[in-house]
Amino acid sequence: MNTNPNYNYVRIFDTTLRDGEQSPGASLTSSEKMEIARALARLGVDVIEAGFPAASPDDAAAVQQIAQEVGNSPVSEGEGSRKVPIICGLARANKKDVDAAWNSIRYASRPRIHTFIATSPIHMRYKLRMEPKEVVERISDVVAYAHSLCEDVEFSPEDAGRSEPEFLYKVLSEAIKAGATTLNIPDTVGYTTPEEFGNLIRGILTNVPGIENTIVSVHCHNDLGLATANTLAGLQAGARQAEVAVNGIGERAGNTSLEEVVMALHTRRSMFALTTGIDTTQIARVSRMVSTYTGIPVQPNKAIVGANAFAHEAGIHQDGMLKHQETYEIMRPETVGVSQSKLVLGKHSGRHALRVHLEELGFHLTPPELDRAFEQYKQLADKKKMITEADLQALLGDQTNKGEEFYSLQGMQVTCGTMGMPTATVRLCCPDGELATHAAIGTGPVHATYCAIDAIVGVPNTLLEFNIHAVTEGIDALGEVTVRLQANDSPLSERESPQNGRTFARTFGGYGADTDIIVAAAKAYLAALNKLLAATTISNVKGEIRS
Ligand code: KIV
Ligand code: ZN
């Protein structure tokens, strides 16, 4: 029996800012990354994988900023104890990437280098074009090099789920000899089943010399919808770190979702007998922040954080709930931070009360941002009787962390209906401070608005996704819109995947909230265009039409 008091503690390694940001459309500005990192620290994650510094100077700078600030700010764990999360940077197995990672994370009080190389026959043969022997040598060299810079080194044999177990044992033991302290086992393409994955972890724990002095980690993708089940099977087999992303975002079908693993361990604790350091009451807030900033909506029936996760619509369920909550509820909504008493501020609340509430929600505003938020809040309070936590999050989501704002909405007017052509007149403030106004017709009010904006901004793009929904119940609810778009011909907006090395067209998400849904749609579109402009640095692009 293992008598180590930490034996049953599962480290939560959050990769929302690295693997999560590899999701289509999840491009985040550096201030959004910073806000998410702060929120993850408050949530209590043990490790924040802040990015892939070798990708670009911007990525490196964002990781460095997180290391400097979040990596040196202890957060309260309750009962007087405080912890600082480990800040981790990803590196392919070469010295250049390792140097880039180290140069960004070295500022953290607890830095970690995470290096990886593929070990499955198919990846070694077709992607790496390397012999297994060369892969083993590379692992020894690069892990030893990383260890010479940083005490804490994590190694991942990419595509472990399809690697030959005997070969995995060999590479993992070489990584341990070279100084790896965490061995992460990725099911990169989400291929395995829970039984197979659990057996793989058991085999590793039994057959790799030196493994008992390291932490074994699991990193599962959701291609067959099995990521959470596989992660839990890995933990039951003895892994003690779970790599997860908020809302399960990530490449293709995504990564294991943080909230599912944490709440499974929490709700079924008598079965798993495993603990985490997560403050579960922060889950709903962080989920919402990630969805707002990435522009990736959470599906309503998503476990734990979906809008319907705690809604009990059917009459028979409601009857049961009224008689005894546990008839249909295995978790309390408050446990994950879904508040039942939603009113947070009244019409007469002041600036100080707003600031305190926003800080609780994870928004740290500069004085000018607070002024702007207060003005927005007062406008909303005039239109809406009850301002809820969800309203504040929605309002702030489109007020702050926009990064560079090239174009902003100054005003708009729309006519639509069955009696004429839908027409929108839009006035924007341009990068040089001038106002530009344009009117356009379209097939509907949103189309007309987007045509008018396009005429001013002048960046050819394709709208890939448009989602709209009400933030709260009631006729006076705020509407929120998320969009995702792609530049038509801009090689500068391409980015490279750290795993397959292929460049893919970057897509940009935008978010807007307003009691007027067409205004929310305009704000979301402008937010996405501003991100696109920031990434392609076409800062001098300006429309031709002025009035
Ligand atoms: O899925 C994967 O294999 C990864 C590695 C870089 C750990 O994300
Ligand atoms: Zn991954």
For the packed helices 165-178 and 132-149, what is the interaxial angle rounded to 10 degrees?
30
In a domain, 151, yes or no: yes
CA 126/CA 443 separation, integer angstroms:
48
For residues 174 and 62, state if they share a domain: yes
Give the distance (Å) from ligand 2 centre to CA of residue 120: 15
Give the distance (Å) from ligand 2 centre to CA of residue 188: 5
CA 547/CA 542 separation, integer angstroms:
13
Instruction: Output the CA torsion sign for 355, 357, 359, 362.
Output: negative
Q: Are strands 423-429 and 408-415 parallel, antiparallel or unpaired?
A: antiparallel
In a domain, 427, yes or no: yes
CA 456/CA 545 separation, integer angstroms:
6
Burial of 540 by CB count in 10 Å (0-12 exposed, 13-18 middle, 19+ buried)? exposed
Give the distance (Å) from ligand 1 centre to CA of residue 48: 15
User: Where does a domain end: 380, 400, 420?
Assistant: 400
For residues 195 and 334, state if they share a domain: no
Tell me the backbone φ, ψ of residue 116, rounded to 5 degrees.
-145, 155
Which CATH number do you get for residue 94? 3.20.20.70
Going by C-alpha positions, the residue among 530, 372, 534 that lies closest to residue 456 is 530
User: Span 454-464, mean pLDDT?
Assistant: 95
Q: What is the pLDDT of residue 95?
A: 98
CA 501/CA 40 separation, integer angstroms:
28
Q: Which ligand is nearest to the CA of 118?
A: 1
Q: What is the pLDDT of residue 540?
A: 38
219 lines ligand 1 (CB under 6 A): yes
Give the distance (Å) from ligand 2 centre to CA of residue 254: 8
CA 86/CA 112 separation, integer angstroms:
7
For residues 134 and 188, state if they share a domain: yes
CA 50/CA 19 separation, integer angstroms:
10
CA 27/CA 20 separation, integer angstroms:
10
Give the distance (Å) from ligand 1 centre to CA of residue 264: 23
Instruction: Output the CA torsion sign for 139, 142, 147, 153.
Output: negative
Burial of 496 by CB count in 10 Å (0-12 exposed, 13-18 middle, 19+ buried)? middle
261-271 residue pLDDT tens: 999 999 999 99
Question: Would you tell me how many other CB atoms lie within 10 Å of the CB of residue 314?
Answer: 10
- From 19, 163, 187, 220, mutation site for ligand 1 pocket: most ligand atoms within 8 A of C-beta: 19
For residues 394 and 541, state if they share a domain: no
Asked whether 53 and 63 are in contact (CB, 8 A), the reply is: yes
For residues 18 and 110, state if they share a domain: yes
84-126 residue pLDDT tens: 999 999 999 999 999 999 999 999 999 999 999 999 999 999 9
In a domain, 504, yes or no: yes
Q: What is the pLDDT of residue 545?
A: 31
Going by C-alpha positions, the residue among 294, 243, 260, 263 that lies closest to residue 35 is 294
For residues 37 and 147, state if they share a domain: yes
Q: Which atom of ligand 1 is nearest to the CA of 159?
A: 3
The residue whose CA is least distant from atom 5 of ligand 1 is 158
15-25 residue pLDDT tens: 999 999 988 76
Give the distance (Å) from ligand 2 centre to CA of residue 221: 6
Residues 6 or more apart from 171 whose CB is under 8 A from it?
A: 119, 135, 136, 139, 157
In a domain, 90, yes or no: yes
Q: What is the pLDDT of residue 543?
A: 38
Six token digits for residue 326 = 């546990």
349-397 residue pLDDT tens: 788 888 888 877 767 788 888 888 888 888 888 887 678 777 887 877 7
Strand blocks (E) in 180-240: 182-187, 215-220
Tell me which amino acid residue 485 is: L
Q: What is the pLDDT of residue 247?
A: 98
CA 18/CA 250 separation, integer angstroms:
8
Which CATH number do you get for residue 437? 3.30.160.270
In a domain, 300, yes or no: no
Q: What angle do CA 523, 527, 528 make, to 5 degrees?
A: 120
For residues 146 and 117, state if they share a domain: yes
Element at 468 (helix H, strand E) = strand 461-470
- For residue 491, pLDDT over 70 is answered with no
For residues 385 and 359, state if they share a domain: yes
Burial of 306 by CB count in 10 Å (0-12 exposed, 13-18 middle, 19+ buried)? middle
Question: Which three-class secondary structure string do you get for 21-54?
Answer: HHCCCCCCCHHHHHHHHHHHHHHCCCEEEEECHH
- What's the full length of the chain, in residues? 547
The residue whose CA is least distant from atom 1 of ligand 1 is 188
Give the distance (Å) from ligand 2 centre to CA of residue 19: 6
In a domain, 499, yes or no: yes
Q: Which atom of ligand 1 is nearest to the CA of 498?
A: 6
CA 16/CA 368 separation, integer angstroms:
29
CA 410/CA 458 separation, integer angstroms:
18
Q: Which atom of ligand 1 is nearest to the CA of 15?
A: 8
CA 431/CA 440 separation, integer angstroms:
21
- Say whether 221 sits in a helix, a strand or coil: strand
User: Span 436-445, mean pLDDT?
Assistant: 97
Q: Which ligand is nearest to the CA of 158?
A: 1
Tell me which amino acid residue 226 is: L
Q: What is the pLDDT of residue 2?
A: 57
Q: What is the pLDDT of residue 180?
A: 98
Mean pLDDT computed over every residue of the chain:
89
449 lines ligand 1 (CB under 6 A): no
Answer with the residue of higher pLDDT: 91 or 75.
91
Answer with the residue of higher pLDDT: 22 or 227.
227
Asked whether 279 and 250 are in contact (CB, 8 A), the reply is: no
Q: In this structure, what DSSP letter does residue 477 have?
A: P
- Say whether 287 sits in a helix, a strand or coil: helix
Q: What is the pLDDT of residue 398?
A: 67
- For residue 291, pLDDT over 70 is answered with yes
Q: What is the pLDDT of residue 412?
A: 97
In a domain, 1, yes or no: no
Q: Which ligand is nearest to the CA of 154?
A: 1
Beta-ladder partners of 51: 89
Q: What is the pLDDT of residue 542?
A: 36
Q: What is the pLDDT of residue 51?
A: 97
Tell me which amino acid residue 88 is: C
Give the distance (Å) from ligand 1 centre to CA of residue 491: 26
Answer with the residue of higher pLDDT: 324 or 206.
206
- For residue 546, pLDDT over 50 is answered with no
For residues 473 and 389, state if they share a domain: no
Q: pLDDT-derived band of residue 403, with 50, 70 and 90 as boundaries?
A: low
CA 391/CA 32 separation, integer angstroms:
19
For residues 58 and 180, state if they share a domain: yes
For residues 43 and 153, state if they share a domain: yes
Q: What percent of the chain has pLDDT over 70?
A: 90
156 lines ligand 1 (CB under 6 A): yes
The residue whose CA is least distant from atom 8 of ligand 1 is 19
Q: What angle do CA 16, 20, 24 make, to 5 degrees?
A: 150
Q: How many domains does the chain contain in total? A: 4
Residues 6 or more apart from 479 whose CB is under 8 A from it?
A: 468, 469, 470, 471, 513, 514, 515, 516, 517, 520
186 lines ligand 1 (CB under 6 A): yes
161 lines ligand 1 (CB under 6 A): no
116 lines ligand 1 (CB under 6 A): yes
Beta-ladder partners of 255: 221
User: Where does a domain end: 400, 419, 441?
Assistant: 400
In a domain, 299, yes or no: no
Q: What percent of the chain has pLDDT over 90?
A: 63
Q: What is the pLDDT of residue 343?
A: 52
| Residue span of the structural domain in which 332 resides | 312-338
155-188 residue pLDDT tens: 999 999 999 999 999 999 999 999 999 999 999 9
CA 9/CA 2 separation, integer angstroms:
12
Six token digits for residue 497 = 């995947």
For residues 226 and 285, state if they share a domain: yes
Asked whether 286 and 245 are in contact (CB, 8 A), the reply is: no
- From 49, 112, 188, mutation site for ligand 1 pocket: most ligand atoms within 8 A of C-beta: 188
